[in-house]
């Protein structure tokens, strides 16, 4: 839930997040603007997205396909807005996702890549995708196993209407951001094992509580929601 106070605070929160990104980037000795901010707008109303857009934000991440489609329709007047799909994606929702998302972060199996390629072809689009890796080996999370990354990358590269851009991961949650560092390091190492930044330029990792650590470990896309939009209500079943 986002109230008027939350919406009014979005510009200052965005400024603070961007400042933290810049600090972590400089601390890591990386070039300015080498990290892109993805504002995670799931469960937030169109008004909140408009406020972030007015403050200069262009990349927005959604976890639920129908919610993304509905928001894209309501906000189609916002030139240059880019929708990223960052939730678990079922094959039966691939058609909807392929019609809206510029980037899909959660390709975790060959069957999904094949279906997305087919749907993107039918829509006359080329979609950027990231391969999601379950770096923590958690049964509750999606993502391919680290040892399966090579085969999945090869499958995606065969798809004519998909462009594989890198890897994505959500490490096991811990209150201490430093606890995520080994998992971020592992994702970067996997990227380097499979072609490096020249072939896989994007590493989507880091969220509101740990994105500075992710940047220090090589993140190029950080997914930040709460620190921009405020707390979100639990999604009902």
pLDDT by position in tens, the chain (length 237): 457 778 999 999 999 999 999 999 999 999 989 999 999 999 999 999 999 999 999 999 999 999 999 999 999 999 999 999 999 999 999 999 999 999 999 999 999 999 999 999 999 999 999 999 999 999 999 999 999 999 999 999 999 999 999 999 999 999 999 999 999 999 999 999 999 999 999 999 999 999 999 999 999 999 999 999 998 765 543
User: What are the residue ranges of helices labelled H in the chain?
Assistant: 4-27, 46-54, 65-74, 94-100, 110-123, 149-158, 181-193, 196-199, 211-216, 226-229
Q: Is residue 131 domain-resident?
A: yes
pLDDT at 237: 35
The alpha carbon dihedral of 211, 212, 217, 218 has a sign of positive
pLDDT at 234: 57
Comparing C-alpha atoms, which of 203, 205, 104, 198 is closest to residue 156?
104
Split into its structural domains, the chain has a count of 1
Q: What is the CA radius of gyration of the chain?
A: 17
pLDDT at 21: 98
Q: Is residue 97 domain-resident?
A: yes
The CATH number given to whatever domain includes residue 216 is: 3.20.20.10
Q: Is residue 185 domain-resident?
A: yes
pLDDT at 4: 78
């Amino acid at each position: 839930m986002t109230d008027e106070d939350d919406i009014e605070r979005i510009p200052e929160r965005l400024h603070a997040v961007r400042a933290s990104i810049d600090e972590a980037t400089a601390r890591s000795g990386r070039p300015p603007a080498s990290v892109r901010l993805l504002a995670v707008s799931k469960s937030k109303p169109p008004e909140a997205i408009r406020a972030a857009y007015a403050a200069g934000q262009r990349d927005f991440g959604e976890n639920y396909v129908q919610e993304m489609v509905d928001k894209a329709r309501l906000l189609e007047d916002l030139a240059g807005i880019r929708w990223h799909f960052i939730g678990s994606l079922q094959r039966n929702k691939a058609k909807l996702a392929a019609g809206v998302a510029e980037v899909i972060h959660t390709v975790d199996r060959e069957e999904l890549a094949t279906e997305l390629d087919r749907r993107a072809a039918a829509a006359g689009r080329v979609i950027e995708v990231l391969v999601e890796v379950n770096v923590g080996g958690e049964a509750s999370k999606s993502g391919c196993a680290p040892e399966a990354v090579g085969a999945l990358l090869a499958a995606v590269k065969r798809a004519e209407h998909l462009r594989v851009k890198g890897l994505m991961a959500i490490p096991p949650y811990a209150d201490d951001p430093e606890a995520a560092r080994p998992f971020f390091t592992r994702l970067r190492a996997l990227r380097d094992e499979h072609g490096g930044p020249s072939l896989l330029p994007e590493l989507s990792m880091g969220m509101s509580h740990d994105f500075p650590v992710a940047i220090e470990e090589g993140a190029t896309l950080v997914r930040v929601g709460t620190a921009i939009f405020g707390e979100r209500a639990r999604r009902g079943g």
